[in-house]
Amino acid sequence: MKFTVDRPGLVQMVKQVGKKSPPQTRSDPKLRLFACAARVFVESNGVVAGTEGLVFEDGQCVVSRKLFGQILGTYKGKKHLTIEADARGLRIERFTMGVQAYSAQVVPPAHFQVFTPKNIADLLPEAGSGAGGEGEDTEAGSWNLGPYKDDCGPQYGGEGLPDGAAGDAGSGAVGRQGEPSDGGDWVLGVVVLVRRIIQLPGISARQALGLQRLLFGLESLPTVSPGIAVEINVGERLGASAPGPDLWLVQLNPGRFCVSRCVQGRRVECVFQSWAVGQRFPLEVDAATGDRLRAWVEGLERLLGHYHPQEGVLHVYDAT
């Protein structure tokens, strides 16, 4: 496990979960510290608190709550801390303390108290570096966020859903007919690929944060993740003779989830899209759409197998 987190926020979280609930005679001396899906969590006394962080490696450990809180206090004046943990112990800079348990396997909690970092920019020392492929990261306030506009209907924040979309809760692929099937398998494939993108060489801290926000939203599907609005374009340049790059696109916001394909910079075509119905995205697909999704996943998997920052294209547009 490795992450960078807002130190004052983490201190407040540890204090919050350290309070005993009314039935308890004394507070729990143990603290579960875990990081995944672009967030850092602490749990004790049956209470979970979480905040945004820059998560490099998922994981969880159990430490002494009182000792961990005291150690955090010794770093007063620091805006953020990078914390690592494994079976050997927990490390903050040169300090090491023991852990009572450790696991690299962790899933985000369904419910937790949200703590907002005082300044998320403090977690982004590489912001504006432009690393990670062609172009720089961009924060945008409208949808589509990126330069490659798709042909899938009105954009988020525009005039609303296309005619009939709100009532088409049983079909994730608009306009498709046929026997629907569970979309969980292909969504898992997208999650795995986004995790691989985070590990690509040359990724900047700002890109990693946007990708981890997207990962949090994808892992929460079919439930809508309020506030998450991220688009990624990943691909490769094909040389001077090609009109544009080959791109794979993923877009997720509270109203819409879409995966798309752009061949040689031409018009983006949706492979799958789903409009939120209440607090859920319908993910069922018919056989034809399922075949296209498998081809999309396999194509991106091949690309990532030989991706290089000098030839690659990676844009992360984050309006979260």
Of 82, 104, 123, the residue that ends a domain is: 123
Residues 217 and 306 in one domain: yes
Residues 272 and 137 in one domain: yes
Residues 187 and 46 in one domain: no
Q: How far apart, in whole angstroms, are the C-alpha atoms of residue 274 and residue 260?
A: 12
If one counts the domains in the chain, the total is 2
Confidence grade of residue 160 (pLDDT, cut at 50, 70, 90): very low
The parent domain of residue 37 ranges over 2-123
Residues 149 and 287 in one domain: yes
Q: Determine the length of the chain.
A: 320
Residues 267 and 221 in one domain: yes
Q: Give per-residue pLDDT as tens, 198-208.
A: 888 888 878 88
Quote the pTM value. Answer: 0.61
Q: Give per-residue pLDDT as tens, 256-284.
A: 999 999 887 667 788 999 999 999 999 99
Structure-derived torsion over alpha carbons of residues 3, 74, 121, 61, reported in degrees to the nearest 10: 20
Mean pLDDT, all residues of the chain: 78
Mean pLDDT of 45-68: 91
What's the confidence (pLDDT) of residue 241? 59
Of 123, 145, 161, the residue that ends a domain is: 123
Residues 77 and 138 in one domain: no
Lowest mean pLDDT among 62-71, 235-244, 261-270: 235-244
Please name the amino acid found at residue 177: Q
Residue 292 has pLDDT above 80, yes or no: yes
Query: What separation in angstroms does the CA of 309 have from each of 96, 131, 141?
Result: 35, 8, 27
Question: What CATH number corresponds to the domain at position 44?
Answer: 3.10.150.10
Q: How far apart, in whole angstroms, are the C-alpha atoms of residue 95 and residue 137?
A: 34
